[in-house]
Amino acid sequence: MNTILLLSGIIIVIITNIDALSTILRLNGGSKISNFVARQVWHMGVFISRKFSRLTILSNIGALVVVTLFTLWALLLGIGYGLIYNSDINSIVKTSTELSASTTGKFYYVGYTLTSLGNGDLKTGSDFWRIISNLMGLNGMFLLSLAISYFIPLMNAVVKQRMMATYISNLGNTPNEIILNGWNGKNFDKIHDQFKELYPMILLHCEQQLAYPVLMYFHSENPKYSPQLNLAKLDEVLSIQKVYNIDKSDKAYIWQNLRMAMDKYLKVAKNSYSFKKEEVPDFPYKDELYSFDILVSEATAIDLIHKINDRRAFIASLVKNDGWKWEDITD
């Protein structure tokens, strides 16, 4: 028996199962291998879309990421078990002649056993390898069942994040427009009600991002349905309130509550994804806020804006990583 092949195969099988189970069952951002592969597929899609000016390419990357991960797990599982069977020359034999199967024949046996396509013209060479074959078939069926059970709620999460993005988009096309639409000339009662509805949506989105790390890669070519773009727009609205204190009512805490939900979203994003940090965008909102009695001094406003520079730079990175430009928020 070839110990090196045996140990290599066992290690690959264990790593594959851990990676798949971590991605499917864990609620803290998935596994390092799957996250790395997903990021590379996404970056490739972003590169191609920018090179050919085809944003529609990104609309298919989410599904491609999922298919890539499932294919990766299947290939690694096949390679791992293939190495295990090839560690023993008599592990698999030909049914007709009882002679040892070739290296490729053993990989072929692993393939049709994992996919439950039947016994073919090969069989195990001993009772020990029959047990291994049963465990392998069970392993393949288990991961396939988990993968299917993962895909269905993932699609449900995609729908919910599109609903959240649409809700924010309907509030206004720009941060200032959201504020003006929520102002009735006397107070922000309208926007208070809207923010109360948004609060659980954003918290749910945070939990779904943790449960399904690939959720971020489901891009929409329509800005109305983009969660990254619309959440960035919403955070700018909350930053306007933080800097200029346009809502001085006793319900101003609602803005802060929603900002706390956004804090959690940004924390999840920072822990789950990594990409180049963008420059801090301009904060050109004051000129359109002439309807409000802004008592904050220029020096205080500049200081408050400076304190949220890192936050806004990271949000700008999220926007660009999703294939958009900052101007898609402000224009």
- The 10s digit of each residue's pLDDT in 31-66 is 888 888 998 998 888 888 877 766 678 888 899 999
CA distance 201 to 208: 10
Q: What is the pLDDT of residues 75-88, one digit of tens each?
A: 999 999 999 999 99
Taking alpha carbons only, the member of 242, 231, 240, 326 closest to residue 289 is: 240
CATH code for 3-147? 1.10.287.70
pLDDT, tens digit only, all 331 positions of the chain? 789 999 999 999 999 999 999 888 876 666 888 888 998 998 888 888 877 766 678 888 899 999 999 999 999 999 999 999 999 998 999 888 888 889 998 999 998 888 876 666 888 888 999 999 999 989 999 998 888 888 889 999 999 999 999 999 999 999 999 999 999 888 899 999 999 999 999 999 999 998 888 898 998 889 999 999 999 999 999 999 999 999 999 999 999 999 999 999 999 888 777 667 788 999 988 888 877 878 788 899 999 999 999 999 999 999 988 888 999 998 7
Q: How far apart are the first and last CA of the chain?
A: 68
Domain ranges of the chain: 3-147, 157-330
**Strand, helix or coil for residue 60:** helix
Compute CA 271 distance to the chain's CA centroid, rounded to the nearest angstrom. Answer: 12
Give me the helices (H) in 279-326, please: 298-307, 309-321
DSSP H stretches of helix in the chain: 3-25, 32-51, 61-86, 103-114, 127-171, 175-182, 189-211, 227-244, 253-272, 298-307, 309-321, 327-330
